[in-house]
Amino acid sequence: MNNKIVVITGASSGIGRALAFAFGREGAKIAICGRKADALNQVADELRQAGITVFALTADVSKEADVKNFVEQTVVHFGRIDILINNAGISMRSMLIDTDPAVIEQVMNINFMGTVYATRYALPYIQQTKGSIVGISSIAGYRGLPVRAGYSASKFAMNGFLEAIRTELLHTGVHVLTASPGFTASNIRYTSLDAHGQITGETMREEGNMMSAEACAGHILRAVQSRKRELVLTAQGKLTVFLNKWLPGLMDRMVYNTLAKEKGSPLKRD
């Protein structure tokens, strides 16, 4: 990773922030973006204090012009791009029958279209360096989760997109990684949207019992270094993907019953 140029979207907190430190400590130079200028600049300052070279730019990945400008300004600043990590994301939590479709559209625009925009505009530079494209997906991209239909849809879309471009780029030397954390301690649940698009501001799970964002970032760093195709994290995540492939009916019941136990879940418990 020494002197590699690593671009990370949604890096003002959580896994994105942890990735910036993980790659930066390996000698990479980091370009980060996020929607909240204050939080983004604080992370940039922390990276510089740790001796990591960083370029930060406020950008909303759901806006094509913002993403295009972020990629272009990164190239102006560093001269190239070696690795793109599509990390920016948002979640939602509500039953479909109660959900304004605009909420699902917002989730899709950030999680999926943000990945499309960043990958499209960074790709010419990554082809030059035979670098890596990484998508931070989710177990929800393999197994649809109740009360998170829009989030699951966005991650299924990301997985299909990455698989398609991995195949398109098969003979170009470009590496494509789909990284799917299980439940990870980050702020994504605190910032998830409710049925009307309002931020919930609370988590429904025990954050202390989950994989840390730093541990997650370490796994992703090693997967990029070894140019892995897919990465599924946590024992629960791996078991979910495996069982959903071979015993989907059982998994319908298991997933329902597990998520029905969450704090404030609208699912009826058996």
Tell me which residues are annotated as active site.
151
As a whole number of angstroms, the distance between CA 201 and CA 188 comes to 10
Backbone phi, psi, residue 39, to 5°: -65, -40
The residues that bridge with 167 in the sheet, in sequence order, are none
CA angle 191, 134, 44 (to 5 degrees): 55
Residue 195 backbone class (left: φ over 0; alpha: ψ -120 to 50; beta: rest) = alpha
Q: Which residues are CB-contacts of 190 (< 8 A; sequence separation ≥ 6)?
A: 199, 200, 201, 202, 203
User: What is the rounded distance in angstroms from the CA atom of residue 144 to the CA atom of residue 152?
Assistant: 5
| Helix 149-168 vs helix 114-129: crossing angle, to nearest 10 | 20
